[in-house]
Amino acid sequence: GMTDLQMLSGEQRYMTQLEVKLIKQSSPIILSGNITKQLGKKIAFSVSLNNLLKDAAFLSAFLEKKLDDKLRQYSLEGETYLPGVLGVHVIGLLQQREDLWSHGLRIKYGLLGEAKNLHHECSMRQKIKVETGAHGVYKLDIGHEFHCMQTPTYNHKVHLKHEAGASWLSSQMEVNYGKHWDEINNKKKLLISQAFKNSSSSSLVNYFMEFTMQVLEKQVNYRTQLKHVHNSQVYLQSSTNFEVQYNDHVPFVAGLQWKDASRNGLKKWEGGLNIDTPWLYLYAAHKLHQPQHSAYLLTMELTTGKALSIKNLIVELFYKDRGNEKEGKV
């Protein structure tokens, strides 16, 4: 065996070699390796094995770091070869330039009998940008690409944008896949977006939420919306509406309304619920009125359709309490 340590121009270089001879007439099995290091900048190492397999087996890697005021960069290159089993060559790069991070990776490989030729290739790229704009708006932008020459089925590209302010947020994601994944007119595409907005004030609660999804290849267009308003400026009232749209149809709608107009200790409540689905239609209303402190009038309305049919069912309840005399009507 042999070892050696050298210092050259700020680099540390360490080398070692081990030889094993099993039979006098045979070639010696040689395992050798070296490491080169420049403090804080780069490091490289390699290991090789000779005279054991039909070809030399080896593993090597190189890592380098570059830093300055505007750019931070890390690069990696590696290679390995195991005769008759696997051959790989890898190149990677990671960069940061202000608010933008980017990363790229390319792999060439060969398997079994093609281990030496590296005919297969895959690559991947990512980018991430984070920034805070005017009025404290947070912005996130993410891009991702994956491409393999021999397996185009798995090729895809993803782009995600997200923004958030003090009272709102929105996100959009686009996914391209298939044979034409990197073309502008690609039909194999998935689009997803969501939005939330809060327009509330001291006497008003106002929320809006929306989610949409499109699958161009399948001609699928889906949208969901939720709106909620609660107002207490003049009297208490609230409204909540939920709607689902699918390919220009509206298969589900639901709404809930409530109002409290009570004054001087006399109750006056009104409420309503409506639901419309492919299987059931429902409308229900509720009113409670107190014309006097000792009298109550309750009215309920119900209409249903489709699976269950009830048309304009109205129930009125009246109750009056005069101390010793009580009166009720249905």
pLDDT tens sequence across 104-132: 999 999 988 888 888 899 999 999 999 98
* pLDDT tops 70 at residue 19: no
- Which of 11-25, 53-67, 172-186 has the least mean pLDDT? 11-25
pLDDT of amino acid 284: 97
- Which of 35-39, 182-186, 294-298, 318-322 has the least mean pLDDT? 35-39
Longest Cα–Cα distance in the chain? 125
Burial of 313 (0-12, 13-18, 19+ CB in 10 A): exposed
Question: What CA–CA distance (Å, rounded) separates 84 from 109?
Answer: 12
Question: What CA–CA distance (Å, rounded) separates 289 from 296?
Answer: 6
pLDDT of amino acid 23: 60
Structure letter (DSSP) for residue 135: G
**Does residue 317 contact residue 301 with C-beta atoms inside 8 Å?**
no
pLDDT of amino acid 18: 64
pLDDT of amino acid 147: 94
Structure letter (DSSP) for residue 266: B
* pLDDT tops 80 at residue 277: yes
Side chain identity, residue 160: L
Parse the chain into domains and list their residue ranges.
1-83
Burial of 91 (0-12, 13-18, 19+ CB in 10 A): middle
Average pLDDT of span 282-286: 97
Terminal Cα-to-Cα distance of the chain (whole angstroms): 107
Write out the DSSP string of 78-99: EEEEETTTEEEEEEEEEEEETT
| Alpha-helix residue ranges (DSSP H) falling in 124-216 | none
Q: Tokens 């001609």 label which residue? A: 219
pTM: 0.79
pLDDT of amino acid 140: 95
Structure letter (DSSP) for residue 136: G
Question: What CA–CA distance (Å, rounded) separates 106 from 90?
Answer: 6
In this predicted model, which residue has the larger pLDDT, 1 or 88? 88
Question: What CA–CA distance (Å, rounded) separates 176 from 193?
Answer: 15
Average pLDDT of span 221-232: 95
Side chain identity, residue 14: Y
Average pLDDT of span 299-304: 97
Residues 6+ apart with CB under 8 A from 202: none
* Residue 166 CA, distance from chain mean position: 21
How many other β-carbons are positioned within 10 Å of the β-carbon of residue 201?
9
| Of the candidates 131, 130, 132, 134, the residue with the CA atom closest to the CA atom of residue 143 | 130
Structure letter (DSSP) for residue 199: -
pLDDT of amino acid 48: 86
Question: What CA–CA distance (Å, rounded) separates 249 from 275?
Answer: 15
